[in-house]
Structure 1
Amino acid sequence: MRTLLNLPFDKIIKRLPVNLSTTKRGDKGGNRAFEHGTFSFSIRGQYSLKALNLAPRIEFRKNIALNIIAAAAIFTIFCHNTAKAQDDSPFNRLQTKQAKELTISALKDMEKKNWKAAESKITQSKDPLATKIYLWRYFSQAEEKKSLSPGVFLRLSSFLRQNPNWPGTTKLRQAAEDAMPEDLPSREVLAWFDSFPPKTSEGMARYLEAMVVEGRDKEMREKLADWWAQSLISRDLQQRIFQKFGMYLTLDAHKKRFDALLLNGNYTNARAIAGVLGQGYPELAEARIALTENKSGVTALINKVPGYLQNDPGLLYERLKWRRQRNMDLEAMEILHKAPDAKMVQNPQAWWKERHIIIRRMLEKRQYKSATYLAEEHMQTEGLPYAEAEWLAGWLELRYLNQPTEAYQRFTAMYEKVATPISKGRAAYWAGRAAEGFHKEDLAKDWYEKAARYRSVYYGQMAIRKLAQTEGLPAPSAPTLSNSDIENFSKNELVQAAILFHDAGQRKTASDFLQAFVQSQDNPKAYRFGAELAAKIGQYHDAVKIAKRATEKGLFLTAQAYPVVTNWLRGDEGVEGAFIHAVIRQESMFDVDARSSAGATGLMQLMPGTAKDVAKKQNIAYNPGWLSSRPDYNIHLGSAYMRSLLKRYNNSYGLATAAYNAGPGNVDKWIKMFGDPRTGEIDLLDWIELIPVYETRDYVQRVMENLYIYRILLKESHHRNEADIQMVDGTNP
């Protein structure tokens, strides 16, 4: 008889019923209540089925509870519960050379959907990790979920419990919910969803129904209210939920759902909920839909809304957006000045987006008081919108209304509330500038020193220059890896899987496993090992991602965070090598296969049309495939384009960088609108912050902070003209 490890898991479940006398069931009350995860086998030595009473195949017909137990037991034997025997788990040991070769070949077969050939090679490998990878790929294939069966649910249940740290578990959980047997007892439904909260609307419906059956009404009401307010479900399911649980739903829950449905464009369901609410809500729905869909007659529809709903936050938001889209800025400001409190709306970030657009328009018109007043009323309380809004209000107070004291209060409050190095550095630097504004030089120095702690970010680097400190890299903080550390990490199944997928040419999947490894370990040594491994196998973008995550936790992995690829440079780029590296890091994080939704390709994210024009001007052949397959070709064309932008803007790195991202036409427009930093008409630091497009503002600062690091790493001389100095320092020479 073949051993368990010789079979793919779908074959195992089909062929291997277990003599249940070898297990202990977790049904303490004798009421078929199966508690997942209560079975543990610690099998050492060979993985053989000879010890079990085996029959030709499992019949999933009589007792689903027992079959779940059987599946869990078999898979626990198969996977060897790592919680109790992690060190000698069959998955945390290195594959043999033959097993590795067979696994790589099988992965290539799987990529081609040749499952039979892959199964044969996995069987031949007799390798537990190879088998597990096969299962993961099999379960992850969307096309395999079209004819789901109870058996699939059992297998997925076991796999997910044994492998919570593997990538793609969300999709696997969705598949498991789709495959959940209709006659699965309610207690077993609860056992599943208590461990794995629903990912699908049908799954949530099953969960709610099971809670009612089992008498968990209070918990059901809480989950129902939260889910009902936000779920985007089909009309039939909405009707089914309402019929079954309508008695538990409050008026407030219906109102929140009504608003969420309209904001997400689910008009059919929104109209149905409006009918339930009555009392003017159908009229409110039609007015909001007309505004969103740009229909005619919106004024008449708005007038039909009852007076008590005229200030409905959702209606005000749609009217605000409608006016802004038609450049009715003053009329939009009327709504912003009477905007509801952020706690009263479901979409505070969307309100900030509209407010921010109008603020930027006021700045374009040089109406600084209006812009500042709008910013001061932002009402954001957390996340990026708060950091962006609070900083903008303080910056406007300082730079345009000469209110350094008020600005200082905002910047210092922001510093205490934000967490990321970028936001911390920004808040501290501008607190220093504000302190200078009311002539507290010692206080300003203290804040510059705080900002300078964040040497890897733009405003930290600005603070270093303010203090006239020696330019240098952040202090290294990477832990030392012992031989034992390296050996243990190398045996980790996620690490081995990443290498296998990489060697099979499946870089994206390799990336998923590398990131899963780091996330599951979440410690300094794992960050270093993961980043170094990624760089070693040439997946530089993963090295950068891991190093960035480490930076957020106070670790600085210089070599991995800032890859050096001078071997990809031909030497005739005509652009500073550090600058090329800085742009690549921001554009693609050194992912040669990177492709944006707009079609930008490769390391320097070249649009095909731009690349073709540059190739023609360079008198070289144009081949779109080379943009990703030949790194040196992509860099050569990207550098040539950047060289033309530098020439256009008199070697101003800041203006050229902005043009690389947003196009020279926009940069020319912004120079005309805000002034020319090359002539000293405006501080370039302010010019960058005035760029109306967030993506471009952020892009320029990120490239410049990369440039600072790469100049140190590459030890290139800084042949900077006055415009360049202004760009890097952020102040007029």
Structure 2
Amino acid sequence: MALPAIRLRIIRLVVPLLLATMPARAADDSALPSQQARLDEIDVETTAALPPFPGNAMKGGTFDIDRVKSAVGAYRRGALSEGDAIASAVDDRTARALLEWVAIRAGANLIPFTRIDAFLKAYPNYPATTLFRRRAEEMLVAEKKSPAAIRAFFHGQRPVSPAGRIALALALKAEGKSEEAIELVRQSWLQDHLGVPLEKIALDAFGGALTMADHRLRTERYIFRGNATAALRNAARVSADYVVLARARLASGQAKRPIAPSLIAAVPASLKNDISFAFLQAQQLRRSDKPIEAAQALANIPRDPALLGDGDEWWTERRLIARKLLDAGDAAKAYEVAAGHGAEDAAERIDADWHAGFIALRFRDQPGIALEHFNEAARHAETPISVARAAYWQGRAFEAAGKADDAKAAYERAAEHPVAYYGQLARARLRLPDLPLRRSAAASLMHLPGHQGVRLLYRIGERDLAVQMMIDLAQRLHTTPALESLAAIAQREGDTRALLALGKSALQRGFPLDTAAFPISGVPEFPVLGDPMERAIVHAIARQESAFDPTAISHAGARGLMQMMPATARETARRANLPFDWPRLGRDALYSAQMGAAHLNDLLKEWRGSYILTFAAYNAGSGNVRKWIAAYGDPRHPDVDAVDWVERIPFYETRNYVQRVMENLQVYRQRLNQRTAYLIDHDLKRGGRRD
């Protein structure tokens, strides 16, 4: 990110599905800083799978395209009655299904249960059924449906929402199945955000069955989420003393430095041995640069998530402490802190075991112990990045133990994921210069509900809705050819952002849509100002920064394809002798690409051609990069392991950013026919003596 300060980047892009696959990070760890699609992206088989879009007639009826457009517009404005009146004149079944889909999706709590239920029964395989079931479950509670109606709706299916779980529990209780009802309510109480109305319903019906331990764990989860109102409301159900502790925890969670000692001193003595107080102590000691004392505060903490409240949040704090211990030179204590994690989510468990293994291998010379942790990480790994990460480090551990054959086999497993950073590192280890991009011939989607709806949305100019429907539809597709065909629609429509969203989603699920996940239509041709540079770098940065959205604006105020901040953009324009036009930067992809490239050129000069340091500086600022060089050495130097240097970057976002941009670069060289014999290991050492 072109920003000399730490900040959070939340890009405005309709890809909530992708965001949901990423593990949440605590603020301390993560706070940081229109071109036509190219025809060569679609092969003959893919193009053939897409028949021409019909005119004003579709199979099963006729419709006026303008009427469909007007109805969609009304629904999106919240004018439900107006939209329904227009839609009633549309006879075509495909168009009517689409309009009802838009109405329910846009209508939120305006749509009654019976209408949502009717749609789900009429179109059980239509995209977004999970979202619509959530809406229906919420209306079951809002409309106080009878136990019989609730049981009928859930016949053969489990609830997908907090409201659904409470509704089903009420129905079970009415049937005399109290044990099942209480189990369901307790599950919801400990995991869901219910809000005041649902909390009241649950307490009125089941309050006597919920224990102080249940209320305490619920409070802990709200503390970790930073929801002060809900946390204090639930803490009051535990005790007045616990409210005092909760206030201190909340203050600590919202701060970036140690909180006032008076807040900690105010915690009653009866809670000084509570594990919630231990977390508070550890967090405060770590922020006071006392990692050894912070580790001691965690020494006797259990690993049971049922006691921790949120094992993943505890792991985040352990990770921060372990990294500070490494910086202080205490690898033994760092390993102890990392290995003692109680992470719950698969992604966090992988991260925790990777950290323990990395410390054991690279700082304690214990490849056997490291391998145990990498094996455990591999057991939970499913996404390409995680699978390649575990396999690559298994290879490193085998290599350190002198087991060359086992190391080669592990590297080969990682190398099966050529678009992932660790897969590329493994390919370099195996001296495989090629980077095979995978794709399949497309299959026909004509029989799938929603397929024609996607194309109709594009025709009426509703691109955002089309992207939402495509992502919903993609979740119902379970073969690479089918997903390729869906991606081909986005490609033919020139929708680079949709193409990227589909490709990323497919890769996460194990379907190799490599070319879709790395589209080349998102960056327009632009004149490079200053020294020559690889155009693949601009593609790599734009993919990570804005997901190729030229209108993206972050919460911190960065804008455009390359996500530049005002001060950086103004200075870059001055250096490059370009006019500075801040509004234009948020709408003109060519101007943004040119400005971003000029800034990258400045950074490449500053860091003597080092890609690692340039990418890190683009994200976190050159000031932070200088601090990391002082702490971890200069990755351009032959004696500094560049892979380790990247892993030591203390900010999670920057660590991830450098790895993602580096992997993007390797793929975009291939996509733009700029690939050389250079492998990623060469890129990691650019700017060093051998350049």
For the superposition of Structure 1 and Structure 2, which TM-score range results when normalised by the shorter chain? 0.7 to 0.9
Per-residue Cα deviation, 1:635-663 (whole angstroms, up to 9, x for no partner): 11111111111111111111111111111
Equivalent in the alignment of 1:441: 404
Taking the aligned partners of 1:681 and 1:400, their CA distance within structure 2 comes to 15
Per-residue Cα deviation, 1:414-459 (whole angstroms, up to 9, x for no partner): 3344222222222222222222323333332232222222222112
> TM-score, normalized by length of structure 1?
0.76
Contact 2:504–2:517 under 8 Å retained in 1: yes
Compute the RMSD of aligned alpha carbons: 3.6
Selected match of 2:121 from 161, 165, 175: 161
Structure 1 regions of 5+ residues with no counterpart?
A: 1-91
Taking the aligned partners of 1:178 and 1:394, their CA distance within structure 2 comes to 48
Equivalent in the alignment of 1:569: 525
Contact 2:331–2:359 under 8 Å retained in 1: yes
* 1:722 to partner: Cα distance: 12
Equivalent in the alignment of 1:132: 97
Equivalent in the alignment of 2:543: 585
Distance 1:295 1:192, change over 3 A: farther
Per-residue Cα deviation, 1:237-273 (whole angstroms, up to 9, x for no partner): 6455434323433454344345445545666776676
Q: Does 1:508 align with 2:464?
A: yes
SS state at 1:678 partner: coil
Equivalent in the alignment of 1:496: 452
Taking the aligned partners of 2:326 and 2:412, their CA distance within structure 1 comes to 31
SS state at 2:663 partner: helix
Contact 2:235–2:246 under 8 Å retained in 1: no
* 1:697 to partner: Cα distance: 1.0
Selected match of 1:682 from 640, 644, 648: 640
Taking the aligned partners of 1:465 and 1:206, their CA distance within structure 2 comes to 55
Selected match of 2:514 from 535, 538, 558: 558
Contact 2:350–2:378 under 8 Å retained in 1: no
SS state at 1:471 partner: coil
Q: Does 1:545 align with 2:507?
A: no
Per-residue Cα deviation, 1:552-577 (whole angstroms, up to 9, x for no partner): 45442333222123871224253201
Taking the aligned partners of 1:273 and 1:722, their CA distance within structure 2 comes to 51
Contact 1:283–1:301 under 8 Å retained in 2: no
Selected match of 1:174 from 135, 139, 146: 135
* 1:318 to partner: Cα distance: 2.7
Contact 1:271–1:282 under 8 Å retained in 2: no
Taking the aligned partners of 1:397 and 1:457, their CA distance within structure 2 comes to 24
Per-residue Cα deviation, 1:671-712 (whole angstroms, up to 9, x for no partner): 111111223341211111110011111111111112112222
Contact 1:684–1:731 under 8 Å retained in 2: no
Contact 1:726–1:732 under 8 Å retained in 2: no
Taking the aligned partners of 2:406 and 2:78, their CA distance within structure 1 comes to 65
Q: Does 1:375 align with 2:338?
A: yes
Selected match of 1:533 from 477, 486, 489: 489
720-729 vs 327-336, greater mean Cα deviation: 720-729
Equivalent in the alignment of 2:23: none
Alignment of structure 1 residues 101-112 onto 2, 5 Å: 101-108=66-73, 110-111=75-76
AA at the equivalent of 1:563 = P
Equivalent in the alignment of 2:4: none
* 1:477 to partner: Cα distance: 4.9
Contact 1:139–1:172 under 8 Å retained in 2: no
Selected match of 1:249 from 190, 194, 210: 210
608-617 vs 92-101, greater mean Cα deviation: 92-101
Contact 1:614–1:637 under 8 Å retained in 2: yes
Equivalent in the alignment of 2:389: 426
Q: Does 1:672 align with 2:630?
A: yes
Equivalent in the alignment of 2:476: 520
Per-residue Cα deviation, 1:133-190 (whole angstroms, up to 9, x for no partner): 3333333445x846x7xxx332222123334543385367436634767574331233
Taking the aligned partners of 2:555 and 2:447, their CA distance within structure 1 comes to 37
Contact 1:93–1:491 under 8 Å retained in 2: no
Equivalent in the alignment of 1:13: none
Taking the aligned partners of 2:218 and 2:77, their CA distance within structure 1 comes to 44
Equivalent in the alignment of 1:19: none
* 1:116 to partner: Cα distance: 7.3
Selected match of 2:284 from 317, 322, 325: 322
Distance 1:684 1:732, change over 3 A: farther
Distance 1:722 1:153, change over 3 A: closer
Taking the aligned partners of 1:459 and 1:287, their CA distance within structure 2 comes to 43
Equivalent in the alignment of 2:42: none
SS state at 2:414 partner: helix
Selected match of 1:215 from 141, 151, 176: 176
Distance 1:615 1:275, change over 3 A: closer
Equivalent in the alignment of 2:27: none
Equivalent in the alignment of 1:47: none
* 1:327 to partner: Cα distance: 3.5
Taking the aligned partners of 2:160 and 2:380, their CA distance within structure 1 comes to 32
AA at the equivalent of 1:133 = L
AA at the equivalent of 1:585 = R
Equivalent pairs, count: 625
Per-residue Cα deviation, 1:309-362 (whole angstroms, up to 9, x for no partner): 543322322332233344443332211222222343221111111111112222
Taking the aligned partners of 1:423 and 1:586, their CA distance within structure 2 comes to 18
Per-residue Cα deviation, 1:496-547 (whole angstroms, up to 9, x for no partner): 2223333333322111001111112332222111111112212222222322
Taking the aligned partners of 2:683 and 2:194, their CA distance within structure 1 comes to 56
AA at the equivalent of 1:155 = R
Distance 1:594 1:538, change over 3 A: farther
Distance 1:425 1:169, change over 3 A: closer
Alignment of structure 1 residues 641-660 onto 2, 5 Å: 641-660=599-618
Q: Does 1:335 align with 2:297?
A: yes
Distance 1:622 1:690, change over 3 A: same
Taking the aligned partners of 2:689 and 2:333, their CA distance within structure 1 comes to 26
Distance 1:422 1:331, change over 3 A: same
Taking the aligned partners of 1:245 and 1:658, their CA distance within structure 2 comes to 52
Taking the aligned partners of 1:438 and 1:199, their CA distance within structure 2 comes to 47
AA at the equivalent of 1:431 = Q
Taking the aligned partners of 1:364 and 1:510, their CA distance within structure 2 comes to 48
Contact 1:321–1:354 under 8 Å retained in 2: yes
Q: Does 1:366 align with 2:366?
A: no
* 1:99 to partner: Cα distance: 3.3
Taking the aligned partners of 1:220 and 1:124, their CA distance within structure 2 comes to 45
Distance 1:527 1:686, change over 3 A: same
719-728 vs 613-622, greater mean Cα deviation: 719-728
SS state at 1:520 partner: coil
Equivalent in the alignment of 2:14: none
AA at the equivalent of 1:135 = E
Q: Does 1:388 align with 2:344?
A: no
SS state at 1:629 partner: coil
Contact 2:185–2:202 under 8 Å retained in 1: no
Taking the aligned partners of 2:195 and 2:89, their CA distance within structure 1 comes to 46
SS state at 1:405 partner: helix
AA at the equivalent of 2:302 = P
Relative contact order (C-alpha < 8 Å, sep 6+): which is higher? 2
Contact 2:120–2:129 under 8 Å retained in 1: no
Per-residue Cα deviation, 1:362-394 (whole angstroms, up to 9, x for no partner): 233333333233223234365122211211222
Equivalent in the alignment of 1:464: 427
Structure 2 regions of 5+ residues with no counterpart?
A: 1-56, 252-258
> TM-score, normalized by length of structure 2?
0.80
AA at the equivalent of 2:386 = S
Equivalent in the alignment of 1:48: none
Contact 1:678–1:723 under 8 Å retained in 2: no
Alignment of structure 1 residues 58-77 onto 2, 5 Å: none
Taking the aligned partners of 1:184 and 1:564, their CA distance within structure 2 comes to 51
Taking the aligned partners of 2:164 and 2:555, their CA distance within structure 1 comes to 32
Taking the aligned partners of 1:240 and 1:117, their CA distance within structure 2 comes to 35
227-236 vs 661-670, greater mean Cα deviation: 227-236
Taking the aligned partners of 1:358 and 1:625, their CA distance within structure 2 comes to 42
Taking the aligned partners of 2:410 and 2:687, their CA distance within structure 1 comes to 17
